Structure 1
Amino acid sequence: MQPQTTPQVPSINQDKGFRIWWKLLRPHTLSAAFIPVTIGTVLALNEGSIKLSIFIAMLIASILIQAATNMFNEYFDYKRGLDNESSVGIGGAIVRNGIKAQTVLNLAIIFLSIATVIGIYICIMSTWWIALIGIICMATGYFYTGGPIPIAYTPFGELVAGFFMGTVIILIAYFIQTETLSFTIFLFSVPIAILVGAILTANNIRDLDGDKENGRKTLAILLGRKNSICFLALMFIASYIITLILVFSGVATSWSLIVFLSIPKAISAVKQFIGKVRPIEMMPAMKATAQTNVQFGFLLALGLFIGHYM
């Protein structure tokens, strides 16, 4: 008989130098910031030329807000005693690398402050109504894991993240370029919002057991692991079907169908969750989910860009 072998899984090690701060940003989640900005800006091309300076400003501000949200997550989970040295999927700056919790909180506040300054520039170049929306977005980032009832601990995490990091950002990115909005732009935002939510679903599937022990009520806990994986698959399917509908209804050109090139990555994400129970074993699936968002988003942006000039 052949001896049984244990599958190789990533290990959790203490990081050093720049890598500590890089992992604190949780870079695999930042696609939820730059993909919507890119798509909203490309959609604005249909109304004429775009202002590159506003695009860059919006891109940087969105990434800073997402990174700050991740830091608030790290800080508040540590304060509530939810993170430890063996926790998977966290930056680990506090519990593994000895960075003071207050330092992480201060850095998050600095990031939001810089985003605010950039937001003022965007308002000057467009409209001050953006300031109100920006404040709501930043407050949502804070209350996602902060406050008495964090959004991330409820079944509404995917809905809130998808709406604000998908739909709202696309609408803002489009509006600051064109000063108009339409239902069509909202329709384009829906598949991206779903995929942003999918990143959270994948995260919650991975953390299901630990979250349940700590009293969270995420959607993954309510559905159970098997049903949550099915739900993740349905989220992927819905994104592709909606894109297909947009093309066949004439809202998008056939070039948008290139998003289907990202299907293998979506399939990989679902398959890598099946049969896994240890959080560290599910990290490849979590990564594949984020990569699906990146691939789908860039392909959609490319298809919209090509379709505009063809």
Structure 2
Amino acid sequence: MQSTDKIDIKQALNEKEGFQIWWRLLRPHTLTASFVPVFVGSMLAFTHDSINILLFIAMLVASMLIQAATNMFNEYYDFVRGLDNENSVGIGGTIVRDGIKPKTILTIAFSFFGVALLLGIYICIASSWWIAVIGLVSMIIGYLYTGGPYPIAYTPFGELFSGFLMGTVIIGISYFIQTQTVTATVIWISIPVAIFIGSIMLSNNIRDLDNDKENGRKTIAILLGRKKAVNFLAILFIAAYGFTAIFIIAGMLPLWSIITFLSVKKAIEVIKNFRGKTQPIEMMPAMVATGKTNTIYGSLLGLSLLISSFI
């Protein structure tokens, strides 16, 4: 029989059975971290040239598969290391609450990597084999993020790695496979996106601060403390919007990109929902809002680039 605590946490998180078990395993609120950079990078390329739709789709699917697989490695290794239990929030809960075998999760994760690898081969054939090197390194880091003897996610560098790889690197690759080049402007424009993606990891670590500290992690949130970490998150948001404003004024982004500031309201909601909260379940709305901030900002940025291409 299920314990009372197990039933309560599932009810509190509104977790359902059936297909929802596997959907939660993907941690869908984090998948925007793979969609946004591919969309932005491709739209940047579209402002200078036509776009190969098949390459765009292949890159998008491959990136989302790698992100989903990374989430699964996280689920697996946190369980193996004893970090997750049936009352943990912010996880798929597929192992600790739904009873799916850990080996099954690991098999699915490697299968996703396999499909992403096949898509990567197609992308390389259509563009450059240098992409294979970058893609392979990204996949290895995706595994080492929570796997291996010294998981990156357990250090103060998790936000930096996730922001740089999922933001700057993917935007650069998405632009390169369409244009066969990468410019300094593309790298600069990737910075706000990288910040928002890194912020998703930071908000996750703020929520999990107490449990992570008990299990020996050394994340930025733990080193700063919850209150200062929330303030740091606010500073990151301000920096991202500040860079965006500078890029618009400098002409690196079109005037249409001013629509990205419509996401400010959601960013403010994140900070408000974190302040004064100490329990992980209380901070879930803030965590979800962080992902939505990235989604709204990135989607509007890509849309502004698309609009400017026709004007």
User: Which residue does 1:281 correspond to in 2?
Assistant: 282
List structure 1 runs of 4+ shifted beyond 4 angstroms.
none
Report the AA paired with residue 189 of structure 2: F
Report the AA paired with residue 266 of structure 1: A
Note the alpha carbon deviations across 1:107-131, whole angstroms, 9 max, x for none: 0000000000010000111011110
Report the AA paired with residue 140 of structure 2: A
In the TM superposition, 1:55-74 aligns within 5 A as 55-74=56-75
In the TM superposition, 1:261-280 aligns within 5 A as 261-280=262-281
Report the AA paired with residue 304 of structure 1: L
User: Which residue does 2:47 correspond to in 1?
Assistant: 46
CA distance, structure 2, for counterparts of residue 10 and residue 237 of structure 1? 36
Report the AA paired with residue 105 of structure 1: L
User: Which residue does 1:179 correspond to in 2?
Assistant: 180
Q: Are the aligned partners of 1:36 and 1:169 in contact in 2 as well (CA < 8 Å)?
A: yes
Shift of 1:10: 7.0
User: Which residue does 1:246 correspond to in 2?
Assistant: 247
CA spacing shift, 1:242–1:99, aligned 2, 3 Å: same
CA distance, structure 2, for counterparts of residue 55 and residue 251 of structure 1? 23
Shift of 1:253: 1.5
User: Which residue does 1:31 correspond to in 2?
Assistant: 32
CA distance, structure 1, for counterparts of residue 17 and residue 34 of structure 2? 26
Q: How many residues align?
A: 302
TM-score when scaled to structure 2?
A: 0.96
Report the AA paired with residue 117 of structure 2: T
CA distance, structure 1, for counterparts of residue 13 and residue 246 of structure 2? 43
Report the AA paired with residue 92 of structure 1: G
TM-score when scaled to structure 1?
A: 0.96
Report the AA paired with residue 12 of structure 2: S
User: Which residue does 1:124 correspond to in 2?
Assistant: 125
CA distance, structure 1, for counterparts of residue 133 and residue 245 of structure 2? 34
Q: Are the aligned partners of 1:24 and 1:70 in contact in 2 as well (CA < 8 Å)?
A: yes
CA distance, structure 2, for counterparts of residue 284 and residue 14 of structure 1? 15
Q: Structure 2 unaligned segments of length 5 or more: list them.
A: 1-9
User: Which residue does 1:228 correspond to in 2?
Assistant: 229
Q: For residue 47 of structure 2, give the secondary structure of its aligned residue in structure 1.
A: helix
CA distance, structure 2, for counterparts of residue 244 and residue 20 of structure 1? 41
Q: Are the aligned partners of 2:47 and 2:306 in contact in 1 as well (CA < 8 Å)?
A: no
Q: Are the aligned partners of 1:10 and 1:281 in contact in 2 as well (CA < 8 Å)?
A: no
Shift of 1:251: 1.1
CA distance, structure 2, for counterparts of residue 187 and residue 79 of structure 1? 39
Shift of 1:13: 5.9
CA distance, structure 1, for counterparts of residue 14 and residue 96 of structure 2? 12
Q: For residue 277 of structure 2, give the secondary structure of its aligned residue in structure 1.
A: coil
Q: Percent identity?
A: 60
Report the AA paired with residue 33 of structure 2: A
Report the AA paired with residue 248 of structure 1: I
Report the AA paired with residue 115 of structure 2: I
